[in-house]
A and B are shown apart, each in its own frame.
Chain A
């Protein structure tokens, strides 16, 4: 079953279409990385998914049920746009209030467990405004986790964290997903970090979801390949296929992409021996960030 299924979802503010007819599928149990530039429509989409913004058109269902149903809402924890904490109240008190909000039987006990989960037990009595950014982010996740939701919707939860904080948050997300089976729908600008945990990706651009892809598919698409720019790409391609039988060999505007072989010296010798001049040959390695940039048309990612 899909944790999130959004169909033809749109949101318009005045004349501007913030989200334009997107179909989003977040599989249950996944960590779904939601990627896009600033203003691409990530936050608006996430707000619609958890009922904080009303779609101009389209539908959202969570775990097979429409978002308007109360029992569906009880399965969602959110951390969107800013930290949803009372600054004057302690970390513990913020958690207890959230426990009361969602009506769990033992909010104090649950607050303790949540503090332990995010390793904030020593800071329980500190006012949330006195906590460091990293601690506040973790507390925000703990608040979202109250009541053991099946789905977490997190908007830029690692923004502004130092490397240590990012590592800690990654550990928390992995535990929540792998040990508790929680589906995580997370947006982030830190693509390198996202690529370490995400099992699926959605790429949004100017309000449109331009691609949904699993991590396995992405790995396949962005796998290493041998790049060759030769004086005669057609002939070179044919020679390489005959000699090395690569898994894939395709000619692009910029050159030849050969998958399944890494023997650049052998290829070079083959082409030279057949009187084909080689302008460039190297092993190309592509990560999520580069994949995203290529998809965006090479525009600098903000």
Chain B
């Protein structure tokens, strides 16, 4: 598992793809804050002002642009192993697919977390520049809880994308799945259906989906929320890791 992790980290740090994704995420985030594309968020130059850090970090670091960029990066990173044929070198030398999935999960979580932390840092700097400083309603503990919650969501996203790529072996499928999760499309549709057919409990269940869990952590610390996020993400990650392992066993490399 550690071998795969070390190999992946070297490839991540030696490839342009990671830096392009990181830069594009920072660029889009910065643009949104500076030009006030999103009206509720603080802006330096744009018309929108007066938004909160919670809205910015809570929403965008979870469901939204950050997840979208990260899922595209994950998909391209994994699928390149299969298109280049390098996956044969990997799977010929590792008998247990869990070694591959575990190593990949670790390296993708680390790289996704680096992107998220860069996003967080840039956001905070730009919001501070927007005026009013950075307000942390839950203090440092709240910020820490937010970061932990978001990193766990990134790990779950990695697990989902690993499974999707191992199963479908096509980058377009991985990217679509990533975008669907990042947009929160499934909870959105089911919520709508629930409200139309008069089943309000659907909305309650939807917060336990991957998209839903990624939106739960906020700067206001809540132990209960964090516990839900930890347990929920652990279950989703384990489920997709098991499915990914099954996909490797069923499909030839």
Contacts and interface: CB of A to CB of B under 8 A. Distances in A.
Contacts of B87: 84
A129 to B, nearest CB: 10
Contacts of B250: 54
Contact of B91 (A52, A74, A86, A93): A52
A17 interface: no
Contacts of A83: 85
Contacts of B90: 101
Task: Using C-beta atoms within 8 Å of the partner chain, give the interface range for chain B.
Answer: 20 to 34
Interface in B1-54: 2-4, 6-7, 10-11, 14-16
Contact of A101 (B14, B15, B89, B96): B89
A54 B253 CA distance: 9
A77 B84 CA distance: 17
A53 B14 contact: no
Nearest to B253: A52
Nearest to A68: B95
Contacts of A74: 93
B7 A97 contact: yes
A100 B96 CA distance: 17
Interface in B67-95: 80, 84-95
Interface in B93-152: 93-96
Contacts of B6: 100
Interface string A120-156: 0000000000000000000000011001000001000
Interface string A84-115: 11111100011011101111000000000000
B204 interface: no
Contacts of A89: 11, 14-15
Contacts of B10: 96-97, 100
A50 B95 contact: no
Contact of A50 (B2, B4, B86, B92): B92
Nearest to B96: A70
Given A70-B95, A73-B93, A101 B84 contact: no
Contact of B88 (A70, A78, A88): A78
A87 B252 contact: no
A103 B91 contact: no
Contacts of A97: 7, 10-11, 86
A76 to B, nearest CB: 6
Contact of B95 (A51, A98, A147): A51
A101 B249 contact: no
Interface in A56-89: 67-70, 72-74, 76-78, 80-89
A251 B87 CA distance: 54
B56 to A, nearest CB: 35
Contacts, number: 85
Interface residues of A, number: 39
B91 A51 contact: yes
Contacts of A147: 93
Interface in A26-54: 47, 50-54
A82 B253 CA distance: 12
Contact of A52 (B2, B3, B86, B92): B92
Interface string A247-275: 00000000000000000000000000000
Given A97-B7, A100-B3, A84 B88 contact: yes
A80 B253 CA distance: 10
A101 B4 contact: yes
Given A73-B93, A100-B6, A85 B85 contact: yes
Contact of B93 (A67, A88, A93, A102): A102
A53 B95 CA distance: 12
A100 B7 contact: yes
Contacts of A144: 89
Nearest to A128: B84
A269 B136 CA distance: 111
Nearest to B3: A103
Contact of B86 (A47, A69, A84, A102): A84
Contacts of B88: 52, 78, 80-81, 84
A143 B252 contact: no
Given A76-B93, A85-B85, A100-B7, 13 more contacts: A67-B95, A70-B94, A70-B95, A73-B95, A76-B92, A83-B85, A84-B85, A84-B86, A84-B88, A86-B11, A97-B11, A97-B86, A100-B10
22 contacts: A50-B92, A52-B88, A54-B249, A54-B252, A70-B95, A73-B92, A77-B92, A80-B92, A81-B85, A81-B88, A84-B86, A84-B87, A85-B84, A85-B85, A88-B15, A88-B16, A89-B11, A97-B7, A98-B89, A101-B3, A102-B93, A143-B89
Closest 4 pairs (CB-CB, A-B): A100-B7, A84-B85, A53-B252, A103-B3
